[in-house]
Amino acid sequence: MTKTFIELRTINVNQHIEKKGNLSYLSWAWAVDYLLQEDPTAHWGFHEPTYFGETVMVSCAVEAMGKSMYMHLPVMDNKNNAIKNPDSRKISDAMMRCLAKCIATFGIGLYVYAGEDVPSIDMPEEEAVDVEVMIDAIMASPSLEQLREIYFATVKYARGNQDTMKQLEAAKDARKNQLTKGAVNE
């Protein structure tokens, strides 16, 4: 049985996110793989690129889980600016990013395109986490490597609660600054 949108949107895809400059996006290969695991009959197609003067817009449609979704994306550089006269490689790359973005409309990694770090889910009251204990663990991290490990462990435990996530992120950034300044002063 395939998962619902609500279930798919809570999947943490952070380990499959790629970065180019200051942009984050979901790996198209992973998105396709996961989509086909959920719906082996899923299929997609690309439309002819649309030209706007010297810039290009790509688009695609994905049919999966009983519905069809459509998405478009300009061919952009790593600063989110449209590229003038893009070559075929840049158009092809944009098409695959557009495919991943379209797959996200089914819930798979949708939060990446909303600018969030992890999916948001509501936590039942009985499963509330002790934020202070997690912050204390982050602030006690003796090294950047251990800070990273502790931060990711607390993020998993926080289970996407956005208020908790913001507090953990602030603590991580504060501790990272402390550890980085300490390394510079040595």
Domain locations along the chain: 5-113, 125-185
pLDDT confidence of residue 95:
96
DSSP string, 73-117: EE-B-TTSPBPSS--HHHHHHHHHHHHHHHHHTTTTTHHHHTT-S
pLDDT category at 18 given cuts 50, 70, 90 is: confident
Phi, psi angles (nearest 5°) of residue 66: 80, 10
Please report the pLDDT score of residue 51 as a whole number: 94
pLDDT (mean) for 122-139? 64
Whether the predicted pLDDT of 118 surpasses 70: no
CA distance 180 to 174: 10
CATH of domain 5-113: 3.30.390.80
Tokens of residue 21, six digits? 């400059």
Q: What is the mean pLDDT of the chain?
A: 82
